Structure 1
């Protein structure tokens, strides 16, 4: 289709490490009127701030090819199951998204969600990766929960398969990083993309959440991409030697 849904960066190596970024963009496709301000589209509810920059650097500087969404999570959330209430959010972190009330769910699934996941499925089948990195970022403080502390610099999320995550938690900790184990929220509740493309098929993965104030600028994105690439390489080695 002519309206971009995703983009690829870098050439994947069969059996190597790849990255996916479900919330890389705050772009709202033509024809979708969300009824929110331009300022709202710069907030964490519209996309994962800094995550695209980290994923791009993983691909361009560290040889970890990446697939990035090119649609705002406010238009449709690629990191939700097709039947999820949060697929087309009508509110997010206390902000009303009036244009999504009564939205044509099937059209958005057909236009964006299904093509995105079909392309990911095909890509991963072709390269059979040894490790998938799912790159996200989280806000230091939710507007709807101002008293909730989120002290972690990085979090590793997982549902049933914690094999890669536990290695990564240990390795990040050894580097002096403040690591969340299934924080700032649990992958047992929210792990849609990795449930579908990794756990269901026995593929190792690390679902990584980076606190977004650390990666708003290019310097931070480069720093965390280098740290993640180093840890990911060692996680893959640990899995292969187990």
Structure 2
């Protein structure tokens, strides 16, 4: 519906604690937005970061890491892009044309979805002053548009500040996981939300990419929520010890 917020909050944020952000957690498309694609594509990685909604929700409800969770599909408006990025209202994704977005009114989409989401997120973070932000994403094991080896189970993305990521890479590796370092995407090109709300503000953050087949079920999400909580708490302690 037109008046619904493009985000929801789960959990009560602790001032100076750890919070979670999930930009791509939803595949929802409002009734008045016509994308012109087969409905089954909305359940794939082009529309949503599979598993992140359940993961962020569980972290907020069970692990004390309050979450700011997107409630609209990135095919409607990609909240993890800058306003001037070509893909902020994508016209194609992984080889699939999004015909309803060709010629779409960009300003209307930004005003309705992108700006309220980021304004609210910015105000929330200013109020909470977190010691660490966890940005949750997931990646498909296999792209349709190109052949690419994706062996990682979890990856850390970063732009200029890799101080928290370095600790997390080590800690996830110690759990026996195959960990990507700025893979399968580089945070130097794709880190818009944390560039804006973390690096620009001097806040520490982790941008996590988890392979989607590992967080599809509730049981998998429960396991990973516990693991991420443990790792992020240890990262926060390490960062505090360095200051």
| TM superposition score normalised by structure 2 | 0.98
- Kindly report which structure 2 residues correspond to 1:143-182, keeping only aligned pairs within 5 A, or say none: 143-145=144-146, 147-182=147-182
**Cα separation, 1, equivalents of 2:68 and 2:77:** 17
Q: Which runs of 5+ in 2 are unaligned?
A: none
Secondary structure class of the residue paired with 2:77:
coil
Q: Match for residue 78 of structure 2? A: 77
Contact 1:132–1:204 (Cα < 8 Å) also in 2: yes
Contact kept? 2:5, 2:116, Cα under 8 Å: no
Q: Is the 8 A contact 2:77 2:109 kept in 1?
A: yes
Structure 2 Cα separation of the partners of residues 56 and 73 of structure 1: 18
Could you tell me which runs of 5 or more consecutive residues in structure 1 were left unpaired when the two chains were aligned. none
Hey, what's the Cα distance between the residues in 2 that align with 1:70 and 1:131? 23
For 1:130, the equivalent position in structure 2 comes to: 131
| Corresponding residue pairs, total | 241
Alignment of 1:1-242 (within 5 A): 2-145=3-146, 147-242=147-242
Cα distance between partner residues in 2 of 1:159 and 1:30? 36
Quote the offset at 1:30 in angstroms.
2.4
Give the conservation status (yes or no) of the 8 Å contact 1:3–1:29.
no
Query: Which consecutive aligned stretches of 4+ in structure 1 deviate over 6 angstroms post-superposition?
Result: none
Q: TM-score, normalised by structure 1?
A: 0.98
Partner SS state of residue 150, structure 1: coil
User: Aligned-residue CA RMSD in angstroms?
Assistant: 0.7
